[in-house]
């Protein structure tokens, strides 16, 4: 598409939808997506980790790669860390290093699943000494968050059981709540605890935080600093994630997302690659709530949780960011007044057709315009390719035998 027809296409979109181009551009420009440090190191499946030439081997290299993603997208100013996959003895220096790269440290993710002690659980373990150890690890992460200027602790537990009768399910629930209370009591003002759920894996009979309802109950019982985190890959097939998002927004407890896509289980594929319409429907719920002044809609942490197996690491992250931006931009095009009107009238198909009209709009010229105004290349993937960065890090960084905390890496 040449420059003139691209501009025409953008105007066609905003004219047809009676939107203000500047306002639309501003909203897309202020939409930030956090990338995960663990997406830049080697990772894989339980069968094989294919070492990627130039994959980041330590915190410095992960920060540099995340900064490169921000440089070409203009949309990813923060990076999530996983402790102790990311480690340093000087967190104040890590903060400065991030800032010197134009970045900030985002969510701190405690690791409560890779120590031998955690075989029977962490925050729910039958032995109080091990529960204490798990709580202390999260406390350490709170200190790291304070030192690095982060305001989010993002908690995912592998806790669960493999067999009926293995443990007392209500007992585990009590232990979980008590442990979470101890953590919650330690949160400094302004820091939030995001409680992630996942219906199975690594536990196969019961998982202690299996669904949004359990996370929401825990968050509600804990208090206003706790919210629910929705990882889009963590539901049984057929689950309506957009409806979960609607319910959490309505309760004011949607803390954030871990975006990824899946075909079968927790595949952690590039978000929007398998089910872009689902992603759009999720954003449609947020945009709809925002339009009605829902205050939760303005304080959602949008994060990617992907560990790529065979994909080029940095490109896969950039593509994910672009796919999220596409879904977000389309959700802004939905004609809310028309939608409300046809919904009231009980016109079954008309509401769907309103969503379809936005979803079928090619927003890529609009996103190109957004980037042009930010002084960016209109295609961040091509910008990365022509930057020489990938070849440079492949030269500079040896192929690491062990380069992340990812199992098998």
The binding site for ligand RM4 (CB under 6 A) comprises 109, 156, 196, 198, 231, 258, 266, 305
CB closer to ligand RM4 out of 73 and 307: 307
Region from 163-171, 299-307, 375-383, 398-406 binding Mn ion, contact rule CB under 5 A: 299-307
C-alpha 60/C-alpha 325 separation (Å) is 27
CB closer to Mn ion out of 178 and 267: 267
Contact between 261 and Mn ion per CB under 5 A: no
Contact with Mn ion (CB under 5 A) among 34, 65, 151, 305: 305
- Residue 77: count other Cβ atoms within 10 Å of its Cβ: 18
Residue nearest to ligand RM4 (CB): 156
Contact between 266 and Mn ion per CB under 5 A: yes
Tell me which of Mn ion, ligand RM4, none is bound by residue 125, counting a contact when its beta carbon lies within the kind-specific cut-off of 5 to 8 angstroms.
none
Least separation in angstroms between CB 299 and Mn ion: 19
CB closer to ligand RM4 out of 61 and 305: 305
Size of the site for Mn ion (CB under 5 A): 4
Max intra-chain CA distance, the chain = 68
CB closer to ligand RM4 out of 112 and 355: 112
Residue 409: exposure state from Cβ atoms within 10 A (0-12, 13-18, ≥19):
buried
Least separation in angstroms between CB 307 and Mn ion: 9
CB closer to ligand RM4 out of 157 and 368: 157
Least separation in angstroms between CB 91 and ligand RM4: 19
Buried b or exposed e, range 184-223, using 16+ CB within 10 angstroms = beebeeebbbbbbbbbeeebeebbbbbbbebbbbbbeebe
Task: Give 212's contacts (C-beta < 8 A, 6+ positions apart).
Answer: 197, 228, 230, 244, 247, 248
Tell me which of Mn ion, ligand RM4, none is bound by residue 109, counting a contact when its beta carbon lies within the kind-specific cut-off of 5 to 8 angstroms.
ligand RM4
Contact with Mn ion (CB under 5 A) among 65, 231, 261, 369: 231
Q: Which of 259, 184, 266, 185 is nearest to 229 (CA)?
A: 259
Least separation in angstroms between CB 233 and Mn ion: 5
Region from 41-49, 71-79, 242-250, 263-271 binding Mn ion, contact rule CB under 5 A: 263-271
Contact between 34 and Mn ion per CB under 5 A: no
CB closer to Mn ion out of 178 and 211: 211
The torsion angles phi and psi of 35, rounded to 5 degrees, stand at: -105, 155
Tell me which of ligand RM4, Mn ion, none is bound by residue 172, counting a contact when its beta carbon lies within the kind-specific cut-off of 5 to 8 angstroms.
none
- Residue 289: count other Cβ atoms within 10 Å of its Cβ: 21
Question: For helices 21-29 and 364-373, what crossing angle results, to 10°?
Answer: 80
Buried b or exposed e, range 1-16, using 16+ CB within 10 angstroms = eeeeebeebbeebbee
Phi-psi region at 287: left, alpha or beta (left = phi > 0; alpha = psi -120 to 50): alpha
Least separation in angstroms between CB 89 and ligand RM4: 23
Question: For helices 313-332 and 380-387, what crossing angle results, to 10°?
Answer: 160
**Chain positions contacting Mn ion, by CB under 5 A:** 231, 258, 266, 305
């Amino acid at each position: 598409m040449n420059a003139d027809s691209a501009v025409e296409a953008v105007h066609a979109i905003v004219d047809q939808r009676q939107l203000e181009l500047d306002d639309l551009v501003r909203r897309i420009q202020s939409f930030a997506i956090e990338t995960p440090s663990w997406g830049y190191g080697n990772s894989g499946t339980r069968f094989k980790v294919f070492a990627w030439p130039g994959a980041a081997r330590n915190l410095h290299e992960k920060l540099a790669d995340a900064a490169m993603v921000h440089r070409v997208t203009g949309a990813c100013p923060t990076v999530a860390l996983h402790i102790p996959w990311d480690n340093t003895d000087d967190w104040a220096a890590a903060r400065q290093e991030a800032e010197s790269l134009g970045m900030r440290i985002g969510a701190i993710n405690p690791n409560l699943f890779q120590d031998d002690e955690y075989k029977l659980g962490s925050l729910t373990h039958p032995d109080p000494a091990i529960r204490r150890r798990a709580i202390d690890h999260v406390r350490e992460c709170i200190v790291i968050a304070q030192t690095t200027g982060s305001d989010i602790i993002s908690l995912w537990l592998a806790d669960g059981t493999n067999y009926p009768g293995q443990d007392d399910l209500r007992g585990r629930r009590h232990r979980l709540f008590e442990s979470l209370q101890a953590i919650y009591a330690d949160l400094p003002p302004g820091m939030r605890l995001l409680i992630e759920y996942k219906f199975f894996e690594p536990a196969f009979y019961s998982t202690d935080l299996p669904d949004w309802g359990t996370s929401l109950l825990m968050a509600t019982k804990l208090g206003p600093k706790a919210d629910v985190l929705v990882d889009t890959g963590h539901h049984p097939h057929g689950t309506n994630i957009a409806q979960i998002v609607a319910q959490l927004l309505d309760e004011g407890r949607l803390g954030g997302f871990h975006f990824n896509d899946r075909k079968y289980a927790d595949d952690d594929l590039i978000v929007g690659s398998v089910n872009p319409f689902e992603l759009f429907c999720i954003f449609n719920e947020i945009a709809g709530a925002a339009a009605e002044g829902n205050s939760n809609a303005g304080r959602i942490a949008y994060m990617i949780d992907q560990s790529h197996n065979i994909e080029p690491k940095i490109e896969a992250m950039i593509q994910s960011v672009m796919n999220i931006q596409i879904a977000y931009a389309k959700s802004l095009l939905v004609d809310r007044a028309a939608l409300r009107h046809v919904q009231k009238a009980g016109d079954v198909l008309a509401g769907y057709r309103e969503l379809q009209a936005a979803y079928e709009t090619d927003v890529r010229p609009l996103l190109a315009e957004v980037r042009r105004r930010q002084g960016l290349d209109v295609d961040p993937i091509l910008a990365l390719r022509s930057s020489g960065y990938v070849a440079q890090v492949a030269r500079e960084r040896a192929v690491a035998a062990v380069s992340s905390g990812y199992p098998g890496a």
